[in-house]
Structure 1
Amino acid sequence: MTNKPADIVTPLRARKPCPECGKPSARESYPFCSPRCKAVDLNRWLSGSYAIPVRDDEEEDSTSSSEAGERS
């Protein structure tokens, strides 16, 4: 056996700042600092706040190209 103290433990992951508030992350709710920040992020995903914006030009381009294929 080794004589290492039990309180010296190598962390599994490096601590990163919480994506919500910037505090250091916690192991229990990684990459967030707390269950609260984790829940805030989940709520944003479920409510659609993180939706990727789409330009109207892209929708028109795909419609016109599909119409051109029908005419051929």
Structure 2
Amino acid sequence: MSCPICQKPGDEKYRPFCSKHCADVDLARWFKGGYSIPSTDPEDMEKAIDAIERGETGGEDEPTRH
């Protein structure tokens, strides 16, 4: 199997990646939302707007600011 980041042959130690570097690149993409699927559901959009207006910036575990 080739590395999904750079297409080099994968290494069993970092499977499916070829190196720690490529594994870290993939992890960074997850953290930055690079693999997210945008929603077109109007309810999701309303919730996002409400969260922005309340000053919430991120995940569920983050404390709410009032």
Place the TM-score, normalised by the shorter chain, in its bin: 0.5 to 0.7
Residue 50 of structure 1 deviates from its aligned partner by 0.8
Aligned to 2:18: 33
- In structure 1, stretches of 5+ residues that fail to align are 1-15, 64-72
State the secondary structure of the residue aligned to 1:40: helix
Aligned to 2:27: 42
User: Is it true that 1:59 corresponds to 2:42 in the alignment?
Assistant: yes
Rg (Cα) greater in structure: 1
Matched to 1:59, the amino acid is P
Matched to 2:10, the amino acid is S
CA RMSD of aligned residues (A): 1.5
- In structure 2, stretches of 5+ residues that fail to align are 47-66
- Please list the CA deviations of residues 41-64 of structure 1 after superposition, one character each: whole Å capped at 9, or x if unmatched: 000001111111112xx326xx8x
TM-score (norm 1): 0.56
Matched to 1:28, the amino acid is K
How many pairs align? 44
4+ runs deviating over 6 angstroms: none
